[in-house]
Every structure is written in structure tokens, then in C-alpha cells.
Structure 1
Amino acid sequence: MMSLTEKLRDFAGALAVASTDAPDDYPEWGYTTYESNMTNLKELWTEILPKLTKELEKAEFIDGKLQEAFAAFEAKEKDKGRKAILAIYNLDVKKLS
């Protein structure tokens, strides 16, 4: 079972990929697709969120920005979605506790 630190690191990695590749710039030669990366972000966030008891404001911000990003990507608003993902990434999510 992964620790919170490991999950946060993986979450940050998935955010980094989404900030540059989502929704339609994933390299064909890569193993990560838009669908797999979005699923990974959702699953990791579901596991991380209950553990962020000391960071409730940041957790609410991240939750809202994730929703905004997913909605933007679905609406084909790539720049809006990427900006929402970057806003999360720039919180230095690896250091949340």
C-alpha cells in the first residue's frame, strides 16, 4: 500500500502530464492516455483527500480546480483545463499533509 507521500508524488506527476498533454496531446508512443491519466488523477485524489485534515482550504481549492479541469477538457477547452491543472500543481502538492 502506498504512503500519502507516494500518492502525492504520483498525483503531482499525473498533474504535470495533464498540464502539458491533456486532453489530446498525449504522445502515441507513450503508455499514458488521456483516459488513463484522468482516471489516475481521480483515483489518487479520492485516496488523498480524506488524509488532508490539516489542509482543508487547499483540499477544497484542489477539488474545485479538478472539477473545473475535467469539465473544461470535456468541453474541448484545453487552455482552461490546463490552467486549472497548473493552479493545482503550483501548490506544490507533494508537500501537502
Structure 2
Amino acid sequence: MNARTLRTGPAIALAAAGMLLGGAAGAAVAAPQQGIASTSATVLQERPSGKYGPYSSYKSCYKAGKYGQDHGRWHYFSCKDEHHKWWLYTYR
């Protein structure tokens, strides 16, 4: 082997290792960012835009939620029982 081959061999090996490790590190960094983005989007989407009540029954809560949805005040709603009272949560 000549002297030039001996000097470039380690440099090529080092560059190849850097590319392999850099690609793995880039993929590892990209995965959590995608998870965080989808999680934060879900959290923002699931955060209620309004809370109304209390209602005496599930039926009256649902009726109020359906009325608001039909009239375009919110996209969807849910009724939740909290301490024996019904609360209407709305989502835009």
C-alpha cells in the first residue's frame, strides 16, 4: 500500500461513521418532534371552548348541546356528570 491510501483510509471510515450516526441521530430527533406535534394538536383540539351548566339531567344537557350544534355555535359537545350535576362542554 502506498502512503496516500493509508492517510485517506481512516478519513473515509470516519466520514462513513459520521454519516451513519448522523442519519440515526436525525431520525431519532425527528420522531419525537412528530409525536409532540400530533400530541399538542390533539390537546388543542380536545380542549373545550366552553362550559355551560349545571343541568339537572343528562337529557336536558344533551338537548342544550344539540341545539347549539344545530345552530352553529360549536362543532361538537359532550355532557359530563360532575358531583351529581351535568355540565355541557363545547368544542369549536
Question: What TM-score do you get using the length of structure 2 for normalisation?
Answer: 0.26
Tell me which structure has the larger Cα radius of gyration.
Answer: 2
Q: Which has the higher contact order (CA 8 A, sep 6+)?
A: 1
More helix as a share of residues: 1
More strand as a share of residues: 2
